[in-house]
Structure 1
Amino acid sequence: MIDTETTGLAPYRDRIIQVSAIRFRDGEPVEKFCTYVNPKKDIPAEASTVNGITNDMVASAPTFPEIVSDLEAFIGDDNVVGHNLIFDIKFLYYSGCNILERKRKYLDTYKQSKRVVKAPSRYNEDADYDVENHKLPTLLEYFGIPTEISHQADSDALATGYLFNELVEQLQFDREYV
């Protein structure tokens, strides 16, 4: 499981300020890599409002180039799972991480959740639905998965791991009984 917190939404302009990767085995977390990252620029107030990460929290943190090899070594050959994974992958790539260079599976719980949990869309606004949207906090609440602090990379990565377990279980159930 992987998650990043950033100074904004544009990987070519904004920077990673926290990254977390959690290794799951048999559905349980067994190892964690997590660090704040000094972006070498001020964190906009809007970003701090969302993720709670301040300039003081990252002031003495390593820069991304200083941690990238440790992160890549931690991920190794494992598959990569995340919620809205393309967002994190783009930031990691633009920051210099070679995560895309190894052959592996990339699994997005955001996309998987759309196969399991119904939410309204512009095509079926009047249809019955289970949740308002496929955002991580919404899905965690729907499945009853507790989270420590939303929009912190370590708690979001951990929660995404448990969400992934729920989605896999539901998809397997659907295959067996459809």
Structure 2
Amino acid sequence: MSRALVLDTETTGLDPATGDRVLEVAAVELINLVPSGRHYHVLIDPERDVPEEASRIHGFTREMLIGKPKFAEILPGLLEFLGDDPVVAHNAVFDFNFLDHEFKRAGAQPIPRSRMVDTLVLAKKRFPGLPNSLDALCRRYGIDNSMRTSHNALLDVQLLAQVYLELMGGKQPGLELATSRAASSAGPVLLDAAPVNRTPRPIMPTAEELEAHAAFLKKLKEPLWTVAAE
């Protein structure tokens, strides 16, 4: 069994070195590349203002985050959920850079870069020269992202989990077969169909057909079945 976590963050800006902070963290658990149903999601008080340009992207304002836990308070739960498994993110260097600064502020060791899996790098290798944003990949793989009207970390990781599965080779044959067939209205659900009793209908040649067949065989020179019978 392989375990990985798909992670995303939302922030107050683009550069933690200039004081920007993490204000949302979300992660979903994958078991053998498939979401297990377990997820981690938390809003964080960034302890600073949220610029208007950042709010336009993710929808969070300073007022919405006042009273939420500080990053140091959510860190133990985050570390427990991540464990020691690979961490998948889109443009992962951005998220890891912010987490490095937050971990340092909280007196914790950063997540090793050896655990980082960047879906942007994977997408660029598979689709060189094409747009490889999360939205572009969802469109390319036919993944419904109509709910993504803003950059919400929890929705983003749920979409990215589907994209990651496709980037790693697509859904396994037979995966969720019973569910998909039951949900389909295009045809019968064969998995639950009762056995069909059929009455045998043997085909018996007539005397004329047997005579015609024998006459035809006489025209063949040493047919194999005649030789074998002798």
The interval holding the TM-score normalised by the smaller chain is: 0.7 to 0.9
Q: Structure 1: which 4+ aligned runs deviate by more than 4 Å?
A: none
CA distance in 2, matches of 1:152, 1:99: 24
> What is the identity percentage for the equivalent residue pairs of Structure 1 and Structure 2?
33
1:13-62 per-position Cα deviation (integer Å, ceiling 9, x unaligned): 20001001111113332211101110111110000001111223211211
User: Is the aligned partner of 1:98 residue 2:109?
Assistant: yes
**Bigger RCO of structures 1 and 2 (CA < 8 A, at least 6 apart):** 1
Larger radius of gyration, structure 1 or 2? 2
Partner of 1:16: 22
CA distance in 2, matches of 1:100, 1:56: 30
Partner of 2:118: 108
User: Alignment partner for residue 8 of structure 2, among 3, 27, 34?
Assistant: 3
CA distance in 2, matches of 1:105, 1:162: 20
Contact conserved, 2:34 with 2:165, CA < 8 A, in 1? no
Partner of 1:173: none
Q: In structure 1, give the amino acid aligned to 2:161.
A: G
Partner of 1:36: 43
Contact conserved, 1:37 with 1:58, CA < 8 A, in 2? yes
TM-score by length of 2: 0.64
- Provide the alpha-carbon RMSD of the alignment: 1.7
TM-score by length of 1: 0.82
Q: Could you list the runs of 5+ residues in structure 1 that have no partner in the other structure? A: 120-130, 171-178
Residue correspondences, number: 157
Q: In structure 2, give the amino acid aligned to 1:143.
A: Y
Q: Could you list the runs of 5+ residues in structure 2 that have no partner in the other structure? A: 1-5, 171-230
CA distance in 2, matches of 1:143, 1:43: 34
Partner of 1:123: none
**Residue range with higher mean Cα deviation, 85-94 or 140-149:** 140-149
CA distance in 2, matches of 1:116, 1:27: 18
